[in-house]
Amino acid sequence: MTPNHELLTRLRSKGLLAWQANFAADFLDPDSSPYHLLAAPPGLGKMYTGVAIAKEVISSGAQRILVLAPAAMCVVWANRLAMQELEVFSLTRAELREIEATCKPQESPFQRNGVFVMSQDLAKQKDVADGLSVINWNAIIIDDAHRMTSPQRLRLLQRLISGNQRRRLLLLTATPLPSLSPLMEPASGQFIPLKTTSWYGVITNWDGTVVRPPGLTWKILTYQRSEDEMRVVGRFLESIKQLEVASGGNKLLTRVLKHRLSSSLFAFENTLQRLVTSLALSIDDSAEFIEGESERLDEPITWARNERVVDVEVTWIDQPAALGILSSTLESLETIKGEEKLQALRTILTECYDHVGKPKICIFSMYRDTLTYLQTAIRDWRLHSLSITGVTSLSEREARVRHFKDEGGVLLTTDVGLSEGINLPDVNSVIHFDLPLTSTKLNQRVGPFLRFDRKVELTFYVIRDDSGAFAQEEKLIDAMTSYTGHFTGYEPVNFEF
């Protein structure tokens, strides 16, 4: 299908690059499929293209667009849409209730004209899904569409497109999803073809030249724990099996403990201290366990008295046994003289500074505890560093990122700290001090650095535990080295072990 030349020219004049404009023109073509899936690696402008499409749809006389995104990205979507001078309603549950309070009886809060932005978690809730599914949306845009594969979210997706062929659907993802193609239209039981476009592989500029970013290398640095570390780690991993069997419902908690142990001994020790305190209080006074926000993994678990239990309630069936195991592990940590993983980081930083005189280095960890630990060590090594986490205020976060861009040095961040919308295309090195739990999270980590306009060679470092004790870490590294395009979008990629 040949894109409309006038539309292409207009999209190009608005700053869209060739691959972005061609996709947008195809989506907007009335003769094209109403349902599109765009699979693209980080950095090639999926959101930018989606915003441009929304602007064109509204400019053509449409009344309403629905944008569903992960909660952390809703603000970014709302801001970018507002920059296009669109009427934007960015809704949380509280904001939705405020609008509902102003509505007349039987009036929907979604009947206003404009672009509605909300999280997928809010949209899937029954009362909200019921309201969304009866509105005549001119277009529906779903970011991170791979999140829509759970049964509840997939039902929401089916309801949104059911019985209304005027609704145009755009699914955006960094992970191609054959399972979403084709979609089933539940009312008729017929399959609806989902047109898939991929920006993986070769992409070209307006002049036909191939986009070739500078070199990209992944370095897997393997370190070996000391005998003291191995003894404590081995004993704990064996003991924790008893807790899993005895407590049944505590797999979430033991999983977090294992992952914090794989992150750093400091984060692990702090978590054990909180757990031991919580258990001691619980035995004496029935203290409650609170799960923190699932998206804020830089501090995923807290414990407190007399607070409401959120999402899951965790109860140690044999609390004295659990307290004994965790207390014993906490005491054994005192026998460890130093952490070999920290020395591995120092080796990497030395290499980075030797290679580039004034480098820009970003270090990731999932946990604030670990970042505190690393920043103290980096200061002892007389290197300049800044830190941002999920609790850093927006103004302070922007100031620190701006300083890092101007002056270089080391930026330590959690996954929540370096949020969507922050691009760092001139960073030389990215160090994963620990790995996230999923490949999706890893994709989100690399996104700020893998921009199409990147000008410098980039090296990603992964610090690998030689013991192989942490299966999830091994699984993710194996996937990373086997399916490089999934994590980078560009070929070839160099791997060094």
- The model's confidence at residue 348, banded by pLDDT at 50, 70 and 90, is very high
pLDDT at residue 42, as a whole number: 74
pLDDT at residue 427, as a whole number: 93
- Contacts of residues 80-86 at CB distance under 8 Å and 24 or more positions apart, as own/partner, are 80/47, 80/48, 80/51, 81/51, 81/54, 81/115, 81/117, 84/51, 84/54, 84/55, 86/54, 86/55, 86/58, 86/114, 86/115
- The model's confidence at residue 404, banded by pLDDT at 50, 70 and 90, is very high
Tokens of 380: 């002892």
**Tens of pLDDT along 349-373?**
999 998 877 899 999 999 999 999 9
pLDDT at residue 445, as a whole number: 84
pLDDT at residue 248, as a whole number: 53
pLDDT at residue 178, as a whole number: 54
Task: Calculate the CA dihedral of residues 216, 218, 219, 220 and round it to 10 degrees.
Answer: 180
State the Cα–Cα distance between residues 171 and 141, nearest whole angstrom.
6
- The single residue listed with the structure tokens 């054959």 is 178
CATH number of this structure's domain 216-224+339-496, picked from the four choices 3.40.50.300, 3.30.1300.10, 3.30.365.10, 3.40.250.10 = 3.40.50.300
Contact (Cβ atoms closer than 8 angstroms) between residue 450 and residue 482: no
Beta-carbon count within 10 A of 255 CB: 14
**Tens of pLDDT along 146-165?**
778 777 887 888 888 775 55
Using DSSP bridges, classify how beta strands 409-413 and 385-388 pair: parallel, antiparallel or unpaired.
parallel
Average the pLDDT over 65-90 and give the result: 90
Q: Specify the domain boundaries for CATH 3.40.50.10810 within the chain.
A: 5-198
CATH T-level topology, domain 5-198: Rossmann fold (3.40.50)
Average the pLDDT over 129-148 and give the result: 88
**Tens of pLDDT along 233-246?**
889 888 877 766 55
pTM, to two decimals? 0.73
pLDDT at residue 191, as a whole number: 58
pLDDT at residue 36, as a whole number: 92
Is a pLDDT exceeding 50 seen at residue 491? no
pLDDT at residue 12, as a whole number: 92
pLDDT at residue 172, as a whole number: 92
Instruction: Name the packing angle between helices 46-59 and 71-82 (round to 10°).
Output: 50
- Contacts of residues 4-7 at CB distance under 8 Å and 24 or more positions apart, as own/partner, are 4/29, 7/56
Among 213-217, 335-339, 464-468, where is mean pLDDT lowest? 213-217
Q: Specify the domain boundaries for CATH 3.40.50.300 within the chain.
A: 216-224+339-496
Is a pLDDT exceeding 60 seen at residue 175? yes
pLDDT at residue 281, as a whole number: 78
- The model's confidence at residue 118, banded by pLDDT at 50, 70 and 90, is very high
- The model's confidence at residue 449, banded by pLDDT at 50, 70 and 90, is confident
**Tens of pLDDT along 2-28?**
567 888 999 999 889 999 999 999 999
- The model's confidence at residue 439, banded by pLDDT at 50, 70 and 90, is confident
Task: Calculate the CA dihedral of residues 362, 342, 332, 291 and round it to 10 degrees.
Answer: 0
Average the pLDDT over 464-469 and give the result: 82
Task: Name the amino acid, one letter, at 73.
Answer: M
Task: Calculate the CA dihedral of residues 22, 25, 31, 36 and round it to 10 degrees.
Answer: 70
Contact (Cβ atoms closer than 8 angstroms) between residue 301 and residue 291: yes
pLDDT at residue 420, as a whole number: 63
Average the pLDDT over 245-263 and give the result: 74
- The model's confidence at residue 215, banded by pLDDT at 50, 70 and 90, is confident
Task: Name the amino acid, one letter, at 89.
Answer: F
State the Cα–Cα distance between residues 207 and 462, nearest whole angstrom.
37
Cα→Cα distances 369→259, 262, 415, 462, Å: 13, 13, 13, 19
Give 361 or 1, the one with higher predicted confidence. Answer: 361
pLDDT at residue 192, as a whole number: 61
State the Cα–Cα distance between residues 227 and 229, nearest whole angstrom.
5
Tokens of 136: 């005549």
Average the pLDDT over 79-95 and give the result: 92
State the Cα–Cα distance between residues 6 and 291, nearest whole angstrom.
53
**Tens of pLDDT along 264-308?**
999 999 988 888 888 887 776 543 433 333 333 444 433 333 322
